[in-house]
Amino acid sequence: MKAMILAAGFGKRLKPLTDDIPKPLLKVGNQSLIERNIRSLLNYGFNEIVINVSYLGNMITEHVLELFPNNKIVFSEESQPLGTGGGIVNALELLGDKPFMLINADIYHNINLTALNTDVKAAHLVGVRNPEYNSKGDFSLENNLVCVKPESNDFTWSGISIINPKIFDELEPQKMPFDIWHKVLMQFINNKDVTAEISEDIWIDTGTIDRLELANKTHKDEN
């Protein structure tokens, strides 16, 4: 199975750290976030990896190719960040027509990626318990099927999922950014075609300076 790492964002909430360095190159311990996620994918047998890049993308490309010169890693370039949905559509030719692993570059985790359900109609999400900053959550579960309640939900999407590229069949390639959750996944959630599982493993979204510091503290405590 192929994997895609979403690495094209500006990292605005991490300024000033991201003024001169893209978010995926920020470090937890002595490794960049993207290095950690690539090594995790390789360790779990995902040997073909697509990475979308935009903001300071040449720095990401050079960093990855220096660390992993002999691995099958290709880059999907975006003149401007296209969001989670637009980034995938832009990379579909590289991803092929079979389900693939999707993971955000800016998460720190120890989730077992080979244990995930890969037999998906539309998508299979990995959820986590709601952190304080997302107390109303993203989704709930009914018989392992994802549903979204109007007021609040039990779980937060971890940024890890298995995606069936067929969900994009009716979307034309476009250069405008869009969000996979609202524009694509919600229709399949409403059709009860999206499943999920909940992880109790370590997971931190490092999207702010405080949470990046938390990831570094967690890593130090682990070691």
Tell me the per-residue pLDDT of 97-155, one tens digit each, with 9 for 90 and over: 999 999 999 999 999 999 898 889 999 999 999 999 999 999 999 998 999 999 999 99
Provide the pLDDT for residue 117: 87
What does the pLDDT read at residue 154? 96
Region 3-16 average pLDDT: 96
2-211: CATH architecture: Alpha-Beta Complex (3.90)
Q: Taking 90 as the threshold, does the pLDDT of residue 55 lie above it? A: yes
Segment 187-209 mean pLDDT: 97
* Residue-wise pLDDT tens digits, 149-188: 999 999 999 999 999 999 998 776 666 789 999 989 999 9
What does the pLDDT read at residue 222?
A: 83
Q: Own/partner pairs for 27-33, CB < 8 Å, 24+ apart?
A: 27/216, 28/108, 28/206, 28/212, 28/215, 28/216, 28/219, 29/216, 29/219, 29/220, 29/223, 32/63, 33/105, 33/106, 33/107, 33/108, 33/206
Q: What percent of the chain is modeled with pLDDT above 70?
A: 98
The whole-model pTM stands at: 0.95
The pLDDT of 200-216, averaged and rounded, is 97
| C-alpha–C-alpha distance, residues 198 and 140, integer Å | 10
